[in-house]
Amino acid sequence: MLLDYEGFDRESNSALSNWFHFNTSFGISGDLGGNFGYGRAALTPFISGRTFAPAASTFWIQGHVRQNGSGSATTQPVWGAMNSGAGQIGFNFTSDLRLFVIYNNTIQVTTALPVVALNAWYFLQMRIVIAGGGAGRVEIWINGANVLNWVGTTNGAGATYNQWFVSNSANNTWSDNMLIYDETGAVPNARTPETRIFTELPTGAGAATAWTPSAGANYQNVDEQPNDGDTTYNSAATFPLDDLYAFPAGTVPAASIVYFVAAEYDCRKDDAGTNDVDALIRSGGTTYPAGDVKTLTATWQRFRSIWSVDPATGIAWTVAGANATEIGVRRVA
């Protein structure tokens, strides 16, 4: 998961990693977690240094894009990929909203006609194949229709790309519901139907409420966005201690394919000792740690963990299973 604009557009603290505003040019780079990528924001032109793990030679970047003003002929892609800061490849829009592919800071091919209209969301999918000898590819679909294909040499920076990024192209481009994945392992590993990220905040207590609330019920201290820092919070003075939270039922539509369930949470420590936390998910009556332990600092940080299969079954999520989960956090040290 990269970002969900509808749910996560209200963050006022740019030091936190995965919530975005679009008031200036910005960029993000991210690492591949399992089969999915998710990112970190930086108020700079683009790369902030996160990488794919492992680097990929064929991968997908997809999500929704919206042009709120005319595009430009800039050779900085709206979405793209790099290898350690070199060899950028991706797409952008011309001033009359035609689509073009950029490779090695050069425009390679442009559609003959505009492919989007202003102030409307479109589902865009981009497949990038890294190869030499003219065997590399960039393929782009908009709302399920193939609108652009470019074949050429794409390995000028190496046999794989290890960084992805997003730019808002002079304040005119918004991105939403973005998903990054490769063509190996579990689904998705090929072009998918239109995807969307559904985002929810806690609405009730879960099966464990072992952390101490600053006031009220535990879930009431973690149900705001942006978070209010030290105003309301839950704390754990010892370990191991679990806090779980319930979410609205029926968020994911019945006909959906569920590719993953993710947890994002903000934590900090307030003493000089070691404080480690791990995300939790509760499914089928059992609580499962993510196994993704984070060491806290005195500064609020945003962490995320992702489950591409239901830990209760070991197979792909069902809609009912995803909607019934509880999410939380465990102090482990």
Residue 226 bridge partners (DSSP)? none
pLDDT at 45 over 70: no
* Res 53: pLDDT: 57
pLDDT at 318 over 80: yes
For every residue of 19-45, DSSP letters joined together read: ----SS--EEEEEEETTEEEEEEESSS
pLDDT at 124 over 90: yes
pLDDT at 286 over 60: yes
* Res 66: pLDDT: 85
pLDDT at 81 over 50: yes
Contact present, 56 and 41 (Cβ < 8 Å): no
Higher pLDDT, 332 or 78: 332
Phi, psi of 139 (to 5 degrees): -125, 135
pLDDT at 282 over 70: yes
**Domain presence at residue 235:** yes
Residue 132 bridge partners (DSSP)? none
- pLDDT, tens digit, 9 for 90 and up, residues 206-245: 999 999 999 999 999 999 877 889 999 999 999 999 999 9
Q: Does residue 89 sit in helix, strand or coil?
A: strand
- CATH no. for residue 118? 2.60.120.200
Residues 145 and 50 in one domain: yes
Residues 221 and 263 in one domain: yes
**Domain presence at residue 188:** no
Residue 144's domain comprises 27-182
For every residue of 170-193, DSSP letters joined together read: TTTEEEEEEEEEESSSSSPSS--S
pLDDT at 5 over 50: no
**Domain presence at residue 5:** no
Rounded to two decimals, the pTM is: 0.82
| Mean pLDDT in residue range 316-327 | 96
pLDDT at 24 over 60: no
Handedness of CA 221, 279, 268, 33 (dihedral sign): negative
**Domain presence at residue 21:** no
| Mean pLDDT in residue range 151-161 | 90
Using CB atoms within 10 A of its CB, is residue 195 exposed (0-12), middle (13-18) or buried (19+)? middle
* Res 33: pLDDT: 34
**Domain presence at residue 148:** yes
| Mean of all residue pLDDT scores within the chain | 82
Interacting residues of 28 by C-beta distance below 8 A, sequence separation 6+: 2, 3, 20, 39, 40, 41, 42, 46, 48, 50, 165, 166
Distances (CA, A) of 64 to 4, 78, 173, 222, 294: 10, 12, 10, 28, 31
Question: What is the domain count for the chain?
Answer: 2
